[in-house]
Chains A and B, each alone.
Chain A
Amino acid sequence: MTGLSVRQLRVVFDGFVAVDGVDLDVPSGDVRFIIGPNGAGKTTLIDAITGLAKAGGSVTFDGQELLGRKVHRIARLGVGRTFQNSTVFEELTVLQNLDIAAGWSRGPLTLLRRRTSVPPEVQHALETIRLTAARDQLAGTLPHGQKQWLEIGMLLVQNARLFLLDEPVAGMSHEERDATGQLLGELSRDHTVVVIEHDMDFLRRFARTVTVMHAGRILSEGTVAEVQADPRVQEVYLGHAMEAGNA
């Protein structure tokens, strides 16, 4: 089966169960939002999928088992992720960041030579993430929003087919959010996208399907409307964020 498939996933930190038997299916081409209160286990779920956190159960992407593989092997299978606080290489330029992200399969001869031109996929990504003008700027000097886009661009050139984005619009301005939402739409044409997000407004506008997590488990799943109508979800959120848009 294609897409992401998680079965009975369980992550335990020193006796504390952070992810407790999660089943999750994200078919390819979906834009899935994962929401849930702080500490629900959303980031830990992504950590487990990408090999960062040790987990029990099973995770397959396009039929390949991911659990038990090393982080860089999972990345090579087409699984890419971003982090809650952006982690671009600040001492390198935008171009260098992207070029490195595009390069794990390069041979030693290419690596030992200087880059003499901008690789086509990097140029394409620069345009997609709207950073062509900032190409030679140090990534550390970019505003927060553009750093997040750069991370998305890095996933693009890395040839990731599954994008796992951890709170990509946190701290962004309204315009940046809109631009990011558009970007997600463009991405979803040929990628599977999973977005962890707290911003309900953003979710309503750009999610195709939603999964709600709470205390390490899946609480509810469905379209935005279905999830919003679920009384258990309303209870967890104590009304505030969901209710505002529940009209």
Chain B
Amino acid sequence: MTMIQDAPITSNSSAAKAPRRFQALIGFGLAAVVLFGVAPVVLGDFRLSLLAKYLCMAIVAVGIGLAWGRGGMLTLGQGVFFGLGGYAMAMHLKLADAEPGQLPDFMQLYGQLDALPWWWKPFANPAFALAATVLLPMLVALLLGLLIFRRRVRGAYFAILSQALCAALAIFLIGQQGTTGGTNGLTDIQGFFGYDLNDPLNRRTVYFVVAAALLAVLGVAWQLMRSRYGELLVAVRDGEERVRFLGYDPANVKLVAYVVAAGMAGLAGALFVPAVGIISPALIGVVPSIEFVIGVAVGGRASLVGPALGAIAVAWARTALSERLPSAWTYFEGLLFILPVVFLPGGLASLAGFLRRRRAPEEVPA
């Protein structure tokens, strides 16, 4: 066995490649400089909290990139997990905002309740609420995934099912006005773990928390993509039936990516609440769930940073366009979804790879 050495691993696949450690360190460093150094200096308070909102979208997008780009699951229902995380956080913040012994303001307003519903009670505990923002979506995804993937639901059926779940959750929340705030959602959130969210300085801090969360989420996705699991996930995406003959149950492989993506969406929803001050059914339903995916398609679903950048770009374009031409946005959004799917399936990320290859043709492996 003398010929067996620790040979270096190289991969030339665009779809199966995660950035190497050195490149990745530089990339993370650059991102950190931009997010923590440049953005807070150049952007005013208002723009910076808009960016915080976009970064929340980017966190969802990283998860979609993993589940859809690498795992082939068109997750058109991330609003469910985003919403679970958002509501878990907002419930805690509403309870913390309320005077001691009082119900949250909207419950008093609708006036049908004498006491806090039992399922609100645990969210008074900050540790429980924080854990729930991520673990609750993951648990729901685990149960859903066990049902869905074991039954070999996939492709368009999976996408439609995901959409239906979003619609169901939104309709449920709207119907329970007394305990969930109904269509309005949970609004007027004042404080964030003791810090006043009306204070611009604290809002800046929230931005930094969101930025740090995005970097952490990218780190998790990077490790998953370059791991053996990441390779297996691509194999399942490209040959789900084939991997069975290698002794794997593809349902379990997909389940992991689905659950991780749900956790990321939950985290994003939780951070969205202090960043924007609201969570409501309109933010988690069918349309926002599709919008999450559009950013990922634009940026390049199978790459690591493509989904995040695409999500930020689309969210920014949405704000810019709908400020000026509110009616045009919907059409533009439709185009944004169709164009990459038809003309550039790898998204903008593949454009970068294309340019690199044109500049350095000698790099093409023999």
Residues on A facing B (Cβ under 8 Å): 50, 70-72, 75-76, 80-81, 87, 89-93, 95-97, 99-101, 103-106, 110-118, 120, 123, 136-138, 154, 158
Contacts and interface: CB of A to CB of B under 8 A. Distances in A.
A118 B4 contact: yes
The residue in A81, A89, A106, A113 that gathers the most chain B C-beta atoms within 10 A of its C-beta is: A89
Contact of B9 (A50, A92, A95): A95
Nearest to A117: B6
B325 interface: no
B365 interface: yes
Contact of A89 (B227, B229, B242): B242
A114 B1 contact: no
A157 to B, nearest CB: 9
Contact of A116 (B6, B238, B239, B249): B6
Contacts of A75: 244-247
Chain B, interface residues (CB within 8 Å), range? 20 to 34
7 contacts: A72-B246, A89-B235, A91-B16, A93-B11, A111-B227, A116-B6, A118-B6
B13 A50 contact: no
Contacts of A80: 245
* Of B7, B231, B244, B249, most A-chain CB atoms within 10 Å: B231
B239 A103 contact: no
A96 B231 contact: yes
A118 B4 CA distance: 8
B10 interface: yes
A91 B247 contact: no
Nearest to A96: B231
Rank and list the top 4 A-B pairs by shortest CB-CB distance, nearest first: A104-B247, A117-B6, A71-B244, A75-B247
A50 B245 contact: yes
Nearest to A137: B365
Nearest to B237: A91
Nearest to A138: B13
B229 A111 contact: yes
Interface of B: 1, 3-7, 9-13, 15-16, 223-224, 226-229, 231-232, 234-235, 238-239, 242-249, 365
B240 to A, nearest CB: 11
A92 B246 contact: no
Contact of B228 (A50, A105, A114, A120): A114
A100 B231 contact: yes
Contacts of A92: 11, 13, 16, 231, 234-235, 238
A35 B214 CA distance: 59
B248 A115 contact: no
A164 B160 CA distance: 38
B223 A112 contact: yes
A96 B11 contact: yes
A92 B229 CA distance: 13
Residue among A92, A113, A117, A120 facing the most chain B CB atoms (10 A cut-off) = A92
B3 A93 contact: no
Contact of B12 (A93, A101, A113): A93
A81 B229 contact: no
B10 A91 contact: no
A154 B235 CA distance: 13
B364 to A, nearest CB: 11
A95 B228 CA distance: 12
A100 B243 contact: yes
A91 B227 contact: no
A110 B228 contact: yes
Contacts of A136: 9-12, 365
Nearest to A87: B242
Given A92-B13, A93-B13, A96-B11, A113 B244 contact: no
A93 B16 contact: yes
Contacts of B246: 72, 75, 100-101, 104, 154, 158
Nearest to A122: B4
B297 to A, nearest CB: 18
A110 B235 CA distance: 17
A72 B152 CA distance: 14
A72 B229 CA distance: 17
Contacts of A117: 5-7
B245 A90 contact: no
A91 B228 contact: no
A72 B249 CA distance: 6
A111 B234 contact: no
* Residue of A87, A100, A106, A115 with highest tally of chain B CB at under 10 A: A100
Contacts of B231: 92, 96, 99-100, 115
Contacts of A154: 246
Nearest to A120: B4
Contact of A87 (B6, B10, B12, B239): B239
Contacts of B15: 91
A178 B2 CA distance: 29
